[in-house]
């Protein structure tokens, strides 16, 4: 997390080319890939996005599978990690239903430089849209976002107070994990939206990863 590293661009450009998605698993029904932080799911600016890159890989022969790819879920642009894509409408319907029924266990890992208000537990509350695309956690619980978490300290010669957070979202709201971490008083390192903007700008990425 050293500030001397070159920051990842928000979108790829002529001077900053983000790595292409890597295939993690493939079978007759799904293609599972890993994306880097900074890459959008859909095209954004000059970034062709995960889908665009995969289609380019199909066209070039880099990806042997040449059939259709359908989205099942997404990750924030700042988040790295695993994405599942369906190879047919039937697979997409089944997988989307499994996500909606909470039959899919989702785990994320994050780094923070601050001690959370509690070592483990859950963050529960409604979420409402704030200014400029941000969200905030409310005290009400009419239709709450639910995030379970546990934290551990990490020894580091370069940074004091570094902590590892394992996050398990029970719901799937926009920015849910990033908002939960802010609510715990321990925003994710490098999160320019929910952490200190100046400190985040010194990092090479937002340290949230979908495992």
Show which residues are catalytic. Answer: 76
> Is residue 208 helix, strand or coil?
strand
Q: CA 196, CA 173: separation in Å to the nearest integer? A: 22
Indicate the pairing of strand 163-169 with strand 108-112: antiparallel
Non-local (6+) Cβ contacts of 111 within 8 A are 1, 154, 162, 163, 164, 165, 188, 189, 207
Non-local (6+) Cβ contacts of 79 within 8 A are 37, 108, 206, 208, 209, 210
What does the buried/exposed string (b/e) look like for 155-173 if buried means 16 or more CB atoms within 10 Å of the residue's CB?
A: eeeeeeebbebebebeeeb
């Amino acid at each position: 997390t050293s500030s001397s590293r070159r920051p990842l661009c928000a979108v790829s450009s002529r001077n900053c080319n983000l790595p292409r998605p890597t295939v993690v698993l493939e079978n007759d029904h799904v293609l599972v890939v890993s994306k880097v932080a900074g890459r959008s799911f859909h095209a954004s600016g000059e970034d062709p996005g995960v889908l665009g890159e995969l289609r380019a890989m199909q066209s070039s022969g880099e990806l042997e599978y040449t059939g259709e790819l359908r989205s099942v879920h997404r990750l924030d642009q700042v988040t790295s990690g695993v994405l599942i894509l369906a190879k047919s409408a039937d697979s997409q319907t089944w997988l989307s239903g499994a996500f909606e029924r909470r039959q899919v266990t989702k785990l994320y890992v994050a780094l923070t430089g601050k001690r959370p208000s509690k070592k483990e537990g859950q963050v529960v509350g409604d979420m409402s849209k704030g200014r400029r695309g941000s969200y905030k956690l409310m005290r009400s619980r009419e239709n709450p976002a639910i995030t379970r978490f546990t934290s551990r300290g990490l020894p580091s010669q370069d940074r004091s107070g570094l902590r590892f957070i394992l996050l398990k979202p029970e719901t799937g709201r926009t920015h849910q994990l990033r908002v939960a971490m802010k609510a715990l008083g321990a925003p994710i390192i490098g999160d320019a939206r929910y952490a200190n903007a100046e400190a985040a700008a010194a990092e090479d990425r937002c340290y949230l990863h979908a495992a």
